[in-house]
Chains A and B, each alone.
Chain A
Amino acid sequence: MEAPEDGEEDEREALKRHLRAERQKRKKRLLEQSSIQKSRDADDVKDVTSIQQYSADEGPSEKADDSVVLSKSRTGSQKGLTSRTQHTHHLDDFVKRRLEEKLKAARSKGESLQDKEASLEFPSRLHSLRDRDTVTRFDREADADRAGRRDSPPPLSTRVRFREAARQVGKGLPTAEEAFNFFTLNFDPDPPDVIETSSRRRQKQRKTTDEDEEHEDVDEDIQEENETQSEEAPLVQTQEDLFVIDQSPQDFLEIRKAEYVGYQKLLQLQSELLFTPSFRTVPTSIKLPENMKPRYLEDEGLYVGERPPVSLTNENILENRILKMEEGKKWFGDDGRIIALPNPIKESSTRPPLFHMEEALDPALQTVYRKAVKSKYANLYIAGAADPEGDYQLDVDVSGLIFSHHPLFSREHILGARLAQMYDQYLTRQRNNLTGHLTDKLNGLRNALRNMLESHSGLNPTQALQQRISEYNLEVRNTRHLRDSEQEKDRTLLKNIVKVWKEIKALREFQKFTNTPYKLYLRRENVDRVSDEQDYEDEILAEVVELEAETEEEYQNKLAEYKKRLEEWKLCRKKQKAKKKKQKKKKKGQAQDDTEGEDEEQDVSESEGPTDEPPPKPEPPERPDLGSIEQWVREKALRIRRKPGEAILIPELSASANITASELCPRAEKARREDVARRSLFTKILYNDKEVSRTDSRSLNTDFRVHFGQIFNLKIVNCPQSISLQVFEEIGSSCSLLAQVFLPVPEPSVVTGSVPLEEFEFSSNQRVMFDHEGVGSDVPLSFEADGSNKQSLLTSGKVSCCVSWGIGDDDVPLAPPISQQPGGVHSGKGHLDAVSYIGASGLYDMKKIGEWAKQSRLDPNDPKNASIMQLLKVASSGEVTAPEYFRLEHLQEEFNFVTDEELEKSGRFRLLKLRNQEVAEFRNYKFIPALEREVTDTVFQEYEKRLKEGEVIDTKEHLDSHRALVAKYLQKIRESVINRFLLAKHHYLLSDLVTEEEIPTIGILGINLFKLAEPKRPLKPQRKERKKVTAQNLSDGDIKLLVNIIRAYDIPVRRLQSNKPGQSSHSALQGSIGLPDQIQVRPFVEVSFQRTVLQTATADGPNPCWNEELQLPFSAPNGDYSTASLQSVKDEVFINIFDEVVHETVMNDKNRGKSIQTHIEKRWLGSVKIPFSTIYSQSKIDGTFKVNTPAVLLGYSKEKSHFTNSGFDILRSLSEGTFITLFITVDPQLVPGESVREKIKEMKFDTQEDERLLQASERFERDAAQRYPDRPCITTVIDLSGKTVFITRYIRPLSPPKELLDEFPNNPLEATPLVARFVSLIPSLPDQVSFSATCDLWSTCDQFLTLLAGDEEEHAVLLCNYFLSLGKKAWLIIGTAIPEGPTAYVLTLEQNLYLIWNPCSGQFYGQYDTFCPLQAVGCLVNADNVWFNIQQYTSPMRVSFDITKANLWKPFFSRTFSHPGLSSIQPEELVYRRTDRAAAAELQDRIERILKEKIMEWRPRQPTRWNRYCTTTLKQFLPKLELIRGQDVAEGHRHELQSLLGDYRISGFPLNLVFSEIRPIIEAVYSTGIHSVQASNVEFALAVYVHPYPNNVMSVWIYLASLVLT
């Protein structure tokens, strides 16, 4: 009801504020104008202000005399107003009058209305006044008043309108219209009740709105306005004036009390705003939905919990309130009550009862007050950590830990750890090289000093110079002291290292086992003794000189001082003496003049006080003993320096020693090791003292190193304060803390990946003791024998780990900004001085750095300053001048770190390069040392020698200059061929790289199943195919050579010497004499290969059967098992057949009776040699070979078959000689190097052949290979210059040497064997060996004869050509033979009989010869054509050699592709050099001499006697043997010999060899084992005969015999 009024009041307030603002504005303007105005209306203003002040001051305080105040103010205002009117009298009268009239009319009208309404209005007004008063003063009437007031609502419309007017007034200057409206319109249409008090009210309103002072302001304002506006607005002014005049002062001024809202009213107001629920019980019907009866669950038998007790009033209030709310009813249950949970309060107390409240409370339960602790790090959040981008990550990398001492260390471990530590120290010292750098500095200083002295030697040294010299001297002295101490440290360290190592060795020796893998090597670096001594002496001399100078100087100083003091002393003495005299005088005079004397005496005593005690006489300084200085220096040098000439010792510690296995250790040690094995370690990572992570548990190793290798990424929010690791040791399930290691918090720049692991030391002082070998911790122990020098070691070690800031995905380090880092400081300690000196910004200023460096006297030699010095050097050198040349690689020279020469000098690089170039000496090098110093110069010696002596012919090795030349030539060819093929080797075929195992098929499975049913040991076992092994993954010892010696035929038997004519009476020579039926030979086989010699058991008879397998180890040259390397193995397998002869000598001892001594003697019967390369390429050799038996075997004879009944013997009788059946293979089976030919095909050699021919030949060969893969077929070959040549070009009739033909002038056919022999005497050199498995090269006949070396092909071609020239029908057979493998033979047709010639041995075989080594015939070649064998069989015995039959032999040139008329590449005629008999004789002598020396050399224990007589006899036989070409002449020969040497038991044989080099001859002699005769009375005979053939072909005969005098 009162709200409107309140609203009005509010509006009033707003208005007030508005007006006040307006007033302020006006006031300002007023102030501006006031200066003009002041003079005029000073009084007015004064009055007004006084009133103002009055009202302001008195108004509120003196409410009692309200009336007085009012009256006063009114009077004041009236006065003011009147005065104002005076000013306005000059206004337009007309307007004034009009307005006055109008106003009067209006007023009269209003007055009448007012009067009418007065009765009605008055109470209201009164009330309003009284209302204000009642609050303050008339409290008693308040209620009545209020009641009455309620009844009379204020006239709203009037007020509003008035207010509008007032507002318009407030807006400032009203316009004339507004002013008019203001004063006129308001009053006319108002309803009477409104108008009644309009004027009064208006006044009052104005008063209320405009506060007292304000009112005046307005008035003033208007007044002023009127003044300034002059005539423009007279109406308003007058009107206002009039109006103002009419009003009483009360209308303008109202003094009101501060507004106070009474309590009642407040309550009323509150009741308007607040809702107070009643506390009356709410009827149930309201609470429930309509038409529902309350339902009591409890009554229905359901359990309802006890409701918590709530007072009824509260419940009611709550219910009432809830009901007022929307959906209030949902809060009520079915029973009409508020839904409530059961009472939560428990029946009984659940807390432990606290009995005995104060006194005897269990201390555990005692409440303890603790002050709230603020977490230390709680607030240290990193700024920006809250946002997801700002997460920081610390990476803690725990790599591992190493114990430098652990309780489980054994004594050896302690020493080992000490050694390792010292070695580390040594290494760091070496790296820093302080000694070297100090020595350099010292030398530098000395030089500088010397230069200075020299340059100023003539002049008088100035003061500054002297100063500098003394400075230098000081510097020299200091540096020398430093250097000496460093040297001493180095020396001691080295000594200690050696000492500890010796201790370890002694300990290991003593305890008989090894626990640590440490091994110390002392590398000796030899020094030049002379220069070293010189240096040493110089050094000592320099030091002595300096020391002398120093001591001299010191002495001089002392002397000077002494002199000074002496002077002083003397002075003193004088004084004293004088004094004494004086005193004496005085004493005399004292008696006379006492007072004066007294006075004086006092004076004197004062002055003499100090001199009373005479100063001690200064001692003159001793002259230093300069002689002793040198001695001292020498002693010192001896102590701290290496002796001159002594090798520099460089210790090298390695962990390569073997640790003794636990089984071999004593019990205590075993227990220790077991204990070690039980332990395991882990570390916890603590971040800000909180465990954040832990590593896995790792077991402790025997070397006490634990590797964790774990990286922990810590996402952090708090500032890192501390990061630490705790090392725990676990034994079984219990674990104990060993130590804690604190890690530094990394700087923000330390980012993962860029920091190395650091080692942090830790230690713990736990005391641990063991009853086993472990030494424990904190337990005193001693290494001395007497137990002295005890020391106790604490568990300690190093953790290697690193802490760094992580890196985000975008390579942004996840580190907080630096400002966050507490205590983040510079790490560059080295530059700290510089920084403090010139400031951080100055670091970029070169000049400043330079100044600083100059001032702080940086040592340019100090490695720490290297970077600064470098910088300064660059800076000081000024700008880089532009070079006047152009370089392709800019700044190359400047950035080189080695020179070309150094690079060239490096042995390692050279070795690597040579290996890569496959230079013969280094081709098979497997490992090249990683360190330069491990490459010794000796490696290159051989190579360099070869390079140097490339052209010098070594006659010693070859005995023949021609052959030496040939050897060189061959070597050159080989080199060139190798270079040619080097590239070819890098071309790989699919089969080189991919080995596909066959997938077993059903068929194979079936066969395997059948195999189960096979007999376990079949009667005739078949050799099974073995798996092939590629050679590259083999190593030494993996490969074995298996030699299966099966049987031999026709071994010569001993000749019974007793049957011989002229035999002396000595009958009991051999055991088998008496019984002719007895076995006449006891042969065994000895196989030697690569220095291994194995032999079979001894068998009996001339046809023995051994059936024995021998395994010989094989090692490849330089351990290189590559195919190429294996192919070039030159070793041969020697299979020698010996006869075991047993001699029994009867010793007749007079005292003891008879004793029989048995000598076993072996006698060589024959040999077979098979090159390894053949075995390798064939993968197995199986067959019967002819044994090379000497032409004559003294004491033996071929046993003519006694049993001629078997068919075999018939066949055998055709061929003479001994045979042996062998099976040789390599285990495991190696993949033979594929035929080189294939590769050559790939190579596409240069050729001069027609393309069509080549294609045809390729096709021909391909067809042949497809249809008969095992039959060799060759149509094109490669000549020595590496060109492909068609094979038929090699065949051309060439005449043999004339000498050979001259021997048989009548019958040229007779010369055939001689020609064959001549060819066979040319040394054979397998291509595979000579050309290192690269390829088969065919040389032409003239090349062959010049080289005097070649393989079967060359021999065969030559032989074939000779035969053709002799008018025979001859062909080249390309086939396979044993043991050569693929080879070439010669076929001749003689009188319808085909003969097969072996060109290398000169032997010929009939087509049906059983023992013909040729096994398969592939193709036949002559000058016109090549025929390929397309018959069913390949064996020569079953092959028809009728080449005209096209169904048996497929010709290369046929009708479709006729022979294009290929010219031969052979020369038209061979030129032979004549035989040089003198050279042969010389060679013969040399061979004989060498062999004799060798035999004596092989018999180092026994004397070797030569039987000259026998030798000369044998020498006579040899030419005869050559003449008959080694045919069986044994019978006569032996007889002759026997007659000559009656009393000797002779065994011997002639050897016929092809001469190529001396080495094979020696080998052959050695393999016969003739030197191994042990009998004491043995004598030897050796005869050599060299038979020369044309063209320097030599046949060498060596007759060897051993003679035992019987």
Chain B
Amino acid sequence: MAELHIIGQIIGASGFPEKTLFCKWGIHTGEAWRLLSGLKEGQTQVDSPQIGDIAYWSHPIDLHYATKGLQGWPKIHLEVWHQDSFGRCQLYGYGFLGDDFDEKEGGRETEKQSEILLTAARHLNSAQFTCSCVIQRIMRHVYRAVNIHTSI
């Protein structure tokens, strides 16, 4: 039986055409994984930064998984939305943090910060936005793979 703790936070986003942003996230796993505790999806608050370009969320992620096999390692998906002054929400980008989400140096607690580029999901005026849609997001996660008792 192996257990995996995913502890981290979604720090924020930058590089979007607008600054007032929030993020929806979710973690996807294969069939073998069981969520023991924690929320596997959620949504951050809306941050509209007054200073600087980065919308900070500092949204915590804390999950505890048990697994019976190693396939279907957790992946996180993120959607960045923009909320305009009328409260309307618009999807600005989405992305998956795939297999590199898992740690190469298993067992050792590491901290890393990774940026992922989100695919632009804007269909309107695509020409207008092609350049500004190179989106980057900062995602940070700390992993601890504890108690991997592989009883093979």
Contact = CB atoms under 8 A, between A and B. Distances in A.
B66 A897 contact: no
Interface of A: 753, 888-889, 891-892, 895-900, 902-903, 906, 909, 912-913, 915-916, 930, 986
Nearest to A898: B68
B17 interface: no
A1031 B118 CA distance: 40
Given A903-B1, A903-B66, A909-B34, A891 B71 contact: yes
A896 B1 contact: no
Contacts of B66: 903, 906, 909
A912 B64 contact: yes
A916 B1 contact: no
B124 interface: no
Interface string B43-85: 0000000000000000000001010111110000000000000
Contacts of B36: 909, 912-913, 916
Nearest to B69: A896
Interface in B116-152: 147, 150-152
23 contacts: A889-B31, A889-B32, A889-B71, A891-B71, A892-B30, A892-B71, A892-B72, A895-B69, A896-B32, A896-B69, A897-B1, A897-B69, A898-B1, A898-B68, A900-B68, A902-B1, A903-B68, A906-B1, A906-B66, A909-B36, A912-B36, A912-B37, A913-B36
Contacts of A897: 1-2, 68-69, 150-152
Contact of B69 (A753, A892, A930): A892
A916 B37 contact: yes
Nearest to B58: A993
A896 B34 CA distance: 13
Given A903-B1, A912-B64, A895 B70 contact: yes
Given A889-B31, A891-B71, A903-B1, A898 B151 contact: yes
B38 interface: yes
Nearest to B36: A912
Interface in B5-37: 30-32, 34, 36-37
B89 interface: no
A895 B32 CA distance: 10
Contacts, number: 55
Nearest to B31: A889
Nearest to A897: B152
The 3 closest A-B pairs by CB, nearest first: A916-B37, A912-B36, A896-B69
Contacts of A888: 31
B147 A930 contact: yes
Contacts of B31: 888-889, 892
Interface residues of B, number: 22
B150 to A, nearest CB: 6
Contacts of A753: 105
Contacts of B64: 912
Given A912-B36, A986-B39, A899 B30 contact: no
Contacts of A916: 36-38
Given A912-B64, A916-B36, 11 more contacts: A888-B31, A889-B31, A892-B30, A892-B72, A896-B69, A897-B152, A898-B151, A903-B66, A903-B68, A909-B34, A913-B37
A902 B149 CA distance: 13
Nearest to A906: B1
A912 B37 CA distance: 7
Contacts of B69: 892, 895-897
A892 B31 CA distance: 9
Task: Tell me which of B31, B39, B68, B105 has the highest count of chain A C-beta atoms within 10 A of its own C-beta.
Answer: B68
A943 B115 CA distance: 45
Interface centre among A892, A897, A906, A986 (most CB of B within 10 A): A897
A916 B151 CA distance: 26
Tell which of A888, A891, A892, A900 has the most Cβ of chain B within 10 Å. Answer: A892
Nearest to A894: B69
A902 B32 CA distance: 13
Contacts of B1: 897-898, 902-903, 906, 909
A812 to B, nearest CB: 17
A531 B150 CA distance: 30
B39 A896 contact: no
Contacts of B105: 753
B4 to A, nearest CB: 13
Nearest to B148: A897
Nearest to A753: B105
A915 B37 contact: yes
Nearest to A896: B69
A896 B147 contact: no
B34 to A, nearest CB: 7
Contacts of B71: 889, 891-892, 895
A1318 B20 CA distance: 59
Contacts of A892: 30-32, 69, 71-72
Contacts of A909: 1, 34, 36, 66
B73 to A, nearest CB: 12
Contacts of B2: 897
A1052 B48 CA distance: 67
Contacts of B70: 895
A915 B151 CA distance: 26
Contacts of A912: 36-37, 64
A886 to B, nearest CB: 14
Nearest to B38: A916
Contacts of B68: 896-900, 902-903
A897 B66 CA distance: 12
Kindly name the residue among A895, A902, A986 whose own CB sees the greatest number of chain B CB atoms within 10 A. Answer: A895
A889 B38 CA distance: 25
A900 B37 CA distance: 18
Kindly name the residue among B64, B69, B150 whose own CB sees the greatest number of chain A CB atoms within 10 A: B69
Contacts of B38: 916
A1332 B64 CA distance: 26
Contacts of A891: 71
B39 A903 contact: no
A753 B108 CA distance: 11
A903 B35 CA distance: 12
Contacts of B151: 897-898
Contacts of A889: 30-32, 71-72
Interface in B92-125: 105
Contacts of A902: 1, 68
B31 to A, nearest CB: 6
Contacts of B32: 889, 892, 896
B110 to A, nearest CB: 12
Contacts of A898: 1, 68, 151
Nearest to B1: A898
A926 to B, nearest CB: 13
Nearest to B70: A895
A913 B38 CA distance: 9
A1012 to B, nearest CB: 40
Nearest to B146: A930
Contacts of A986: 39
Nearest to B3: A909
Contacts of B37: 912-913, 915-916
Contacts of A915: 37
Nearest to A931: B147
A873 to B, nearest CB: 14
Most buried by B among A888, A913, A986: A913
A909 B147 CA distance: 13
A906 B1 CA distance: 9
Contacts of A903: 1, 34, 66, 68
A654 B25 CA distance: 43
A1550 B69 CA distance: 68
A889 B70 CA distance: 11
- The winner among A888, A899, A916 for most chain B CB atoms within 10 A is A916
Nearest to B2: A897
Nearest to A917: B37
Nearest to B66: A909
A267 B34 CA distance: 107
Nearest to B42: A986
